[in-house]
Amino acid sequence: MDGSLVQPAEAAFWTRAQTHMLRFGGDFVPFVPVRAEGAFVYDAGGRRVLDFTSGQMSAILGHCHPEIVATVRDQVGRLDHLFSSMLSPPVVDLATALAAQMPDLPKVMLLSTGGEANEAAIKIAKLVTGGWEVVGFAQSWHGMTGGAAAATYKAGRRGYGPAAAGSFAIPAPNAFRPRFPGVTWQQELDDAFALLDRQSTGNLAAFIAEPILSSGGILELPEGYLNALQAKCRERGMKLIIDEAQTGIGRTGLMFACQRDGVVPDLLVLSKTLGAGLPLSAVMTSEAISDACDARDFLFYTTHVNDPLPAAVGLKVLEIVERDGLAARAASVGDRLKAGLRGLQAEFPWIGDVRGRGLLLGVEFVDEDGGQRRSAAALSDAVTDRALELGLSANIVRAGASGGVMRIAPPLTVTEAEIDLGLDLLWQALKAVA
């Protein structure tokens, strides 16, 4: 842990933290927030940090949005948690509102986390197809529970024994680092499925895909790819699951990222952004799949299924995003942010690529002077650490051959002034490292 941000008054806090907190994925950030508002988090001394990751890519309305705060206070005082077989008005209202956004998927189940929702979607696909083989991208991240973890290839596969039988992966297209230069994404997809067909036992159940692989390095599936992927699934009797944990609810400029391609999946999974920072996820599917689940006694009975408190929050999130035109705003403000990042790319040669859509963007670092001076990993870490010292929070995702991709995902409520401030702080960090 970098001690440069640790104040003397926090020493006891970090002593207790290091004594009692179990690490679950790298070091903890040397900043102790005690409150947050909008796009900023603050420590006890009043120092503020501009949050360009929306918490864990979830707080799309910023922190402590007054309408979300009011909704939580009202709902928790009236109805918070119920017996799992009971349905309450906020739950049915949220399901109705989600179905209005994707009419072909009118059946909804509400859960707590993205991993849990992906788990449910995978189980549904297995149940209704009778198959048990699940395919994902080699750079994917879908969760930490059993089936979702088996479909996650970005990290976390070593040291835990065998994954679920029938787990397969194909490479995601990467325009900046093509797997086979000169080969189109369609040719690559055809080749991947040809290999998959040779390995399958004939029990293919589902393909699970993110429209933009976020933890995989902000890899955006090219236009037309989801259509082609859906066709491959239909040819084999597979269900297409689209995981919009980070791309859903307006972040990419549309309510759902898959809408750009006109694709309606068999199952759509929402999480992170749906709860605007509170634990809420959803599985959406068709009448036909729902009927098949009923006929086969689908079971996914959990403690917090269809809880009213998070449902009320999700309903308010949808209302605000629609009312305030935040999806369209994500597109326009995202263009401003991307243009600024490309300006930095022109100035600093070790920024190799700027990519993404709306307010989910990535800055990929490359080796300095061909690796003769500093590696991309060292550069990306140094820039991220310096940015935090200056007051900007972003994070690095390791992505295969790349040394690091800075993931930038401000809240949809971010102002143009905050975008410009973030770009300035990032410029200062880059300049300091240079």
Extract the residue ranges of the chain whose pLDDT is less than 50. 1, 3
pTM equals 0.95
Quote the CA–CA distance of 1 and 27 in Å, as a whole number.
6
> Which tokens is 290 given?
């729902």
Residue type, 364: E
CA-based angle 340:346:348, to the nearest 5? 100
Burial of 242 (0-12, 13-18, 19+ CB in 10 A): buried
Residues 6+ apart with CB under 8 A from 11: none
pLDDT of residue 368: 87
**Which of the following is catalytic: 272, 329, 357, 386?**
272
- In three state form, how does the secondary structure of 153-212 look? CCCCCCCCCCCCCCEEEECCCCCCCCCCCCCCHHHHHHHHHHHHHHHCCCCEEEEEECCE
pLDDT of residue 400: 64
246 classed as catalytic = yes
**Which of the following is catalytic: 75, 139, 407, 418?**
407
pLDDT of residue 1: 45
**Which of the following is catalytic: 119, 210, 364, 385?**
210
210 classed as catalytic = yes
Percentage above 90 pLDDT, the chain: 91
Per this entry, what is the length of the chain? 434
Q: What is the DSSP string of 68-90?
A: HHHHHHHHHTT-----TT---HH
> Which tokens is 103 given?
């009419």
Quote the CA–CA distance of 270 and 251 in Å, as a whole number.
12
pLDDT of residue 324: 98
**Which of the following is catalytic: 141, 188, 261, 266?**
141
pLDDT of residue 171: 96
Residue 376: which of 392, 356, 393, 352 has the closest Cα? 352
Residue type, 253: G
Quote the CA–CA distance of 354 and 423 in Å, as a whole number.
13
Helix, strand, or coil (residue 137) = strand
259 classed as catalytic = no
**Which of the following is catalytic: 116, 119, 220, 243?**
243
Q: Which run of H or of E encompasses 43?
A: strand 40-43
pLDDT tens figures, 314-349 = 999 999 999 999 999 999 999 999 999 999 999 999
316 classed as catalytic = no
Helices 326-347/308-323 angle, 10° precision: 70
pLDDT of residue 26: 82
Domains contained in the chain, CATH given: 31-64+326-433 (3.90.1150.10), 68-323 (3.40.640.10)
